[in-house]
Structures are given as structure tokens and as C-alpha cells.
A and B are shown apart, each in its own frame.
Chain A
């Protein structure tokens, strides 16, 4: 008897309603388009996410590594009911947000990864995905965690999220926070923006190709600087570490 193992391993995705694209103006005066990205475009995203795994700053390394795994899992049919939204400025990738439906009525936010900083692009992306959960998918609640202090300020504080600490979040098993429909409605006028429909030329540019980010986050000049500054301002630990390495290499 032959067994098609792929049928067992591959999750059965439910049909999630499509996200209707929108656009908004940034502080720079540029228009950013938010649109859904489907499986066939995931490889285009992966190549722009991978470099951020090596950016040891603001938890870009952790977030990018996880986003990479989530997108790859989605691409290779190993992640159930995931959706991905991209934010593009003139075709350039500016942010990726993703999440999934846990069950009818309950959503789960995965990640918000800003590839261009200083213009609330990440915040606009997060608002767009919450809008998708609450307004389009009809979720009553979205489970959320933050991996960075910036995320905590943007989500937990700005949206005044409720604690759901009894629910371990799928990201690392840490206690969850929740955005309810009521909280979202309260935040809507201040934090959720965007215009529909997207002018055809803008949308066409976004759909044509996902262009690489022109100014992505980069690692600190000295990769040890963060550690040294926080834990070892006199660099004695660093010196000690080098001595140990030299000893290990038989140079002592």
C-alpha cells in the first residue's frame, strides 16, 4: 500500500478572505501600498529578509530569523492559514507583516518587520493587519506578543492591549496579549489610516515586482558594541575572552 506522506504533512489551509489593498501617504510625502502577497512571491521576500538575520540591533536578528522560517514554511506548505502583507513604496519593499487564523473568531499576529525606518511604516503595517483580522476575517480577538521594546511601545501601549497571560503565544510560548474588536474600534481613528481603492498606476507598480529596500537596517559597526556597552563598558570581558581564545588556539 503506498502512502502519500505529503498529504499527511501538508496542512489544509482554509480559504481566508482576500485583503483589499490600500495606500497611504507617509511623512515623506511618498505613497505606500499595502497589499497581500501570495505563495508564488514568497521567494522574492525571502532574499530581502535573510540579510536582516545578521542585524544585531533592535531584535532584527530574532524577528528576521522567525519571519524567514514562517515565510519558508508558508511557501513549502508547512504553516497553516498564514497570510502575508507587504508594504511597498514605489515598488520597494518597506515592510512585511504576517499572521494567521487560529480558528474562526480568533487571529494570531506573527510578525511586523520594517525594512525602512523612521516613517511609522511598521506601525502602518501592524494597523493594516489588525484591520484585516478584525474587519475582513471577522476575528473578535487577535493574540499578540512583542519581541522588541519598540514593538511593545507600538502594540501593547498604543493600542492598550489586554493581557491574556494564560495563553502561551505560538512565538516562543510567551504570555499573550490581545487586541479585541472594542480596543481596535477605539484606536481606529488615531492609528488606522489608508485609502481605497488604490490608484491603478500605484497598484500596478507594486504588483509588478518586489524591489529591494534601498535603505534597509544595517548591523552596528562593531558587532560586539551592544554587548560591550551594556555589560562590559571597560572591555575587560572582551580582553579576557580573547585571552581564552588564544589559549584555546595554543598561543598562550
Chain B
């Protein structure tokens, strides 16, 4: 198996984008192609979850490839729920590592704001079990709320801990010009003041408004290449060193212990094993904080902290910029936004930015290793990636 490197990255602003879906994907891709200094690719993978349903568009990869004048490159769209982005990166990795292709463009894109918030919530809920969950009206906020309640009962996590994640990540987004939310928040304003309940109402008890990521449009792209090609292009040598993917029961209630995210644990374990890294050796991480409770739980499952102690590390500032393991320094899903198909690619974009030392005010000093965790379904399809800077 050949080593695979990231030679180019691109992203659009995550916000409401009043552009056709293909344009959004193409814009991010053009940035990545320009960054890598190439105009031709062998293969294009486009990660997306909702084009057919939200944007009335199918065969997205063909459209993006033509739009970018990358013909006759091979092209395929990858739909894997909110883990589509990292799943597409995995496909790109396999193509290069196997020797089939030398240069692969992986783009992730979503345009969710084309529909109203009710339709967007319903669209995301279609990833739940159709007979055991969806027909009873389950939504992702509802699943996350039940998960949070169990977590609070079992491990002593409080609403203050959840709010602390929200404040940390939303304020981190202020250092990321591409992030959706550009508005500082404080614990006083969302939790302690007499107006906090109105500013930050319950969405699904115990989760409140600022515990959830925004609904965003956006695109991100990376270029994966072989070692020879990476050396030829002369960009910083960032190797995609580890990939782990695992699944769990579709219906959450079938899990023996719902607070254990076994697919996260397995995906991270496999990524570490492949890369030869341990959790202690990771310098910066992007976790899938679609809801604040998920950052806490995932920070334990990927091995950064013992089970049930993620919120204690949060209290100590260990997950903030300058802490032991900075998590979501670009805002995470909470602050950067969560165009579902683009998220996994955007996480990789952030880590590569960090490993290149281009993070600006959010740069983790001396970062040479990074991890992304892309959480699909409600933890039933998870992809973990690790990256290492080699030069």
C-alpha cells in the first residue's frame, strides 16, 4: 500500500450560500486545485447527503467534475450520512494507496438552507431507523438530548459543562474567517443571567439552543496524492497516516449501553493502529460536536481522557487552545457550521491547516499530528482519520 499525502485544501465560507450546489463544491475544489498547483486529477469523489432531496440534484460528482473541466476523470458521489466527508476521503485514500490513481480530488458539499428549518431537521432525521425511530418522530436533537440526559446521570456532566463546550467552540470560530457563527457568547449570557432562558431556550431538554450546531451551507475539498506526486508539487508533506471506520446498531436503543460510543472507540483504535500513533501523541483534534455533549463523549472514546472524565478535562481547559489536547480550535461544527456532507472534509481541511502552521490566531503551536472524527448517524457509522506532518 502506498503512502497518501494531502497536497491541496480549499473551503468556502460556511453560512447560507445563495449559489447552486455544484458551484459551492466547485469553488472549494478550485481553491484546493490552486493550492496544490494542479489542473488535472485522476478521480473525483464528492461527499454529499441531501442533494437529491434538498436541491433536486443527483449525479453530483459528474456535475462537479464537468463544472471544473476535469474531464475525463473518474467521478463518484458518496453518501454516508453526516460521515460522508470522511468516507469520501477514505475512498480517495484507497484509490491512491492502491496505485489505481495518483491524484484524487475529494470534495464535500451541502446546501441545507435551501429548505426551511423544519424540512432540514426532518431531512437529517431520515438517517435514523425508519421503523424503530423515525416513525415515532425522533429527530437528531431528540436523540442527542436523551444521550445527554443519560450521560449526565451516569457521569455527572451538567448543563454548565455543555454550555462551556458551546462557548469554547463558538468563540473559537471568531478566529476562523470561514466559520458560520461570528458572534461571541458568554456563559453569563446563555446560562446565568435572568434573560438566559430566553436567549438560550431548551430545544430538547437538557439541550438548549446554543448546544446545537447551526444549519449551514458550504463546501470543502482536499487533494490526495501519492508520495512521488507530493514531492513533485512541493507542498508541505502532510500524510494521511491512519483511517478507521466502524459501525454500530442503527437504532440507538439496541445498544447495550447507549452512553458507550463503540463505533467511535473502534474507528479511533483502528486509525491509531494504522498510523502507529497513540492518543497522547495527537497535537490537535477535530471532533464531531453537532451537539455539545458529543464533544465531551467523543473526547473520551478516542482515548484523550478516561471514560466519564471528558467534562473534567474541559473544566480544566485541557481541550481549549493552549490546553493539553486542543479540540475544535476552528469552531468545530458548533461554530464553523455543519453542512453535513462537507463536514468530514472540512475537519481534514482544519487539521491540514494546523499542520501547515497556517492557523493564524487559532494555531496550535508546533502541531505535527492531528485527528478528525466524523460521526455519522447517531454514532452508527464513524470515520476517524489521523494526519502527520513529515517534513
Contact = CB atoms under 8 A, between A and B. Distances in A.
Contact of B194 (A28, A120, A124, A193): A193
B189 A26 contact: yes
Contact of A118 (B20, B183, B194, B195): B183
Nearest to B209: A27
B19 interface: yes
A119 B199 contact: yes
A119 B194 contact: no
A120 B188 contact: no
Contact of B181 (A24, A118, A120, A153): A118
Interface residues of A, number: 28
B116 A27 contact: no
B142 interface: no
Interface string B176-192: 00000101111011100
A239 interface: no
A74 B193 CA distance: 36
B303 interface: no
A28 B20 contact: no
A209 interface: no
Contact of B189 (A28, A149, A225, A234): A28
A193 B195 contact: yes
Interface in B93-119: 114, 116-117
B5 interface: no
| Residue of B117, B193, B198 with highest tally of chain A CB at under 10 A | B198
Contact of A24 (B19, B20, B114, B195): B195
Nearest to A215: B182
A194 to B, nearest CB: 8
Contacts of A57: 18
10 contacts: A25-B199, A29-B189, A57-B18, A118-B183, A119-B199, A220-B18, A225-B19, A229-B20, A229-B114, A234-B20
Contacts of B18: 57, 220, 222, 225-226, 228-229
Contact of B20 (A25, A191, A193, A228): A228
B197 interface: yes
Contacts of A190: 197-198, 201
Given A118-B181, A149-B116, A233-B20, A27 B199 contact: yes
A120 B189 CA distance: 12
Nearest to B210: A27
Contact of A27 (B19, B114, B189): B189
Which bucket holds chain B's interface residue count?
20 to 34
A175 to B, nearest CB: 21
A25 B181 contact: no
Contacts of A191: 198
B183 A25 contact: no
A118 B197 CA distance: 16
Contacts of B194: 24-25, 193, 195
B175 interface: no
Given A27-B185, A28-B184, 18 more contacts: A24-B194, A25-B193, A27-B186, A27-B189, A27-B190, A27-B199, A28-B189, A29-B184, A57-B18, A119-B199, A120-B198, A124-B198, A190-B197, A193-B194, A193-B195, A222-B18, A226-B18, A228-B18
Contacts of A228: 18-20
A28 B197 contact: no
Given A228-B20, A229-B20, A26 B199 contact: yes
A24 B201 CA distance: 16
Nearest to B193: A25
A234 B56 CA distance: 13
Interface in A199-246: 220, 222, 225-226, 228-229, 233-234
A93 B87 CA distance: 46
Contacts of A30: 189
Contacts of B193: 25, 29
A193 B198 contact: yes
Contacts of A24: 194-195
The 6 residue pairs across chains A and B that have the minimum distance between CB atoms: A29-B186, A25-B193, A225-B18, A27-B189, A193-B195, A27-B199
Interface in A149-194: 149, 153, 190-194
B39 to A, nearest CB: 23
Nearest to A29: B186
B126 interface: no
Nearest to B57: A233
Interface string B17-51: 01110000000000000000000000000000000
B121 interface: no
B183 A120 contact: no
A193 B201 CA distance: 13
A213 to B, nearest CB: 14
Contacts of B19: 222, 225, 228-229
Contacts of A26: 189, 195, 199
Contacts of B249: none
Contacts of B186: 27-29
A25 B201 contact: no
A29 B187 CA distance: 8
A40 B114 CA distance: 42
Contacts of B183: 27-28, 118-119
Interface string B362-387: 00000000000000000000000000
A190 B194 CA distance: 11
